[in-house]
């Protein structure tokens, strides 16, 4: 059915009437319908994709409510079992889970706050000020991003050991405060920042700090939200460095503690699944809180103006 035939079926008295509202609405409805048909395969594809991405998560929920020995059987359980509280009690008992959750939260929050401050300020500086050595400085930042972690492990470890910081949280947090990716992300974000706004603030007599806090920060909120989410997730999931630095079970972070549940001749999968499930909750919460800003932050680079 085409738009022309749609028009011809409308009452002739109304067709092309003085306001012309009705036909246009019908047209809009028709095109929306046609668009819907066109989009059906897209939605189908998206539905399949979301089912596929939800399945592992669903399996995590199911697995965390069964005994480990049931997870090796054929067929695999498809419904939640009744072992959730038993698994939770064991998780708490074997790795002191509530404590390590708190540890992880404390580390991730502190790291996110300070690392974001460094990234935002450094990124702003590199993007808006012109000074001697700016290119070199940016180059150094980028190059540290390119050095693989494995190369850094031993020298960094030695630095922490000679500072006497092994088994302390500052050793987990400090070495990565200046996060190259974060700085670069913020620099790119501030490159698009309208200089005229800053100039206007200056003309009005605002100092550099005042300009930064009052003018720049509020406008850059979406990008900062994206940065915060990224920084928090990377610290929350970070494994190898906390593993190397922390030597006391009560100081472990969640990934390090969960790793101790992998045994020599047995793996406590239901405990692991439950722990991983609980570990994703703070991330989901964070994403829900920052979702609006996050999405516009991601699109900020794509759709200019």
Partner 1 sequence: MRSRTLLAPVVALAGAALLAGCAMGGGQPAGEVVLDPDAKLEGEITVWSWDVAATALDRLGDEFEAAHPGTTVNVVDVGYDNAYDKLSVGLQAGSGLPDVVTIETDRAPGYINEFPAGLVDLDPVLGDDEADFDPFKWQAQSDADGALKVAPWDSGTVGLFYRTDYFEEAGIDPASIATWDDLVAAGEVIKAKTGHTLLSLDVATGGGFQMLLQQQGQGLFDENGDITVNSPEAVEALTLLQTLNEKGLLKNVKGWDGRVTSAKDGDSAVTPEAVWWIGTLLGDAPELSGTYGVTELPAFEEGGVRTSNSGGSGLSVPAQAKNPQLAAAFVAFALADADNQVSMMQNEGLFPSYLPALQADYFAEPQEYFGGQPVYELFAEQTANIPAITFTTDNAEASDIVANAVVAAVLNGADPQQTLDDAAQQIATATDREIAE
Residue 54's CB is within 10 A of a number of other CB atoms, namely 10
Query: Among 16, 17, 20, 139, which residue interacts with partner 1 (rule: CB under 8 A)?
Result: 139
Indicate whether 7 belongs to the interface with partner 1 (CB under 8 A). no
Distances (CA, A) of 157 to 25, 87, 224, 298: 68, 35, 31, 35
Interaction of residue 248 with partner 1, rule CB under 8 A? yes
> Of 87, 41, 44, nearest to 64 (Cα)?
87
The interface with partner 1 within residues 53-112 (CB under 8 A) comprises 68-69, 72-74
Binder of partner 1 out of 88, 105, 110, 159 (CB under 8 A): 159
Q: Which of 12, 41, 82, 135 binds partner 1 (CB under 8 A)?
A: 135
CA end-to-end span of the chain? 38
* Displacement of CA 204 from its chain's centroid (Å): 37
Least distance in angstroms from the C-beta of 63 to partner 1: 12
Residues 19-38 that bind partner 1 (CB under 8 A): none
* Of positions 264, 284, 302, 303, contacts partner 1 by CB under 8 A: 264
Give the chain's largest Cα–Cα span: 90
Is 249 a binder of partner 1 (CB under 8 A)? yes
Least separation in angstroms between CB 3 and partner 1: 56
Among 168, 259, 276, 296, binds partner 1 (CB under 8 A): 259
User: Among the residues of the chain, which ranges form H helices?
Assistant: 3-8, 21-63, 84-95, 97-128, 134-146, 149-162, 169-173, 180-191, 195-203, 208-210, 217-219, 221-237, 240-245, 254-259, 269-300
Q: Does 305 bind partner 1 (CB under 8 A)?
A: no
Binding site for partner 1 (CB under 8 A): 68-69, 72-74, 135-136, 138-140, 142-144, 147, 151-162, 166, 240, 243-244, 247-249, 256, 259-260, 262-267
């Amino acid at each position: 059915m085409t738009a022309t035939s749609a028009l011809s079926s409308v009452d002739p008295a109304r067709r092309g009437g003085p306001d012309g509202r009705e036909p246009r609405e019908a047209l809009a409805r028709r095109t929306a319908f046609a668009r819907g048909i066109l989009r059906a395969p897209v939605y189908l594809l998206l539905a399949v994709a979301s089912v596929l991405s939800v399945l592992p998560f669903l399996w995590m929920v199911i697995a965390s409510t069964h005994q480990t020995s049931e997870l090796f059987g054929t067929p695999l359980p498809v419904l939640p079992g009744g072992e959730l509280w038993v698994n939770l009690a064991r998780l708490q008992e074997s790795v002191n889970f509530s404590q390590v959750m708190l540890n992880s939260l404390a580390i991730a929050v502190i790291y996110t706050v300070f690392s974001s401050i460094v990234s935002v300020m450094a990124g702003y500086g590199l993007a808006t000020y012109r000074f001697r050595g700016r290119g070199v400085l940016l180059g150094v930042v980028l190059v540290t991003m390119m050095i693989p972690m494995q190369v850094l492990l031993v020298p960094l470890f030695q630095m922490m050991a000679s500072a006497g910081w092994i088994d302390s949280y500052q050793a987990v947090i400090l070495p990565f405060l200046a996060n190259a990716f974060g700085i670069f992300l913020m620099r790119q974000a501030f490159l698009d920042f309208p200089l005229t706004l800053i100039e206007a603030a200056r003309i009005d007599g605002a100092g550099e700090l005042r300009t930064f806090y009052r003018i720049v920060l509020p406008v850059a909120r979406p990008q900062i939200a994206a940065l915060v989410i990224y920084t928090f997730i990377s610290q929350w999931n970070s494994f190898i460095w906390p593993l190397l630095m922390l030597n006391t079970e009560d100081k472990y972070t969640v990934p390090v503690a969960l790793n101790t549940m992998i045994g020599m001749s047995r793996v406590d999968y239901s405990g692991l699944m439950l722990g991983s499930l609980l570990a994703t909750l703070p991330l989901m919460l964070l994403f829900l809180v920052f979702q609006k800003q996050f999405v516009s932050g991601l699109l900020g680079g794509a759709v200019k103006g």
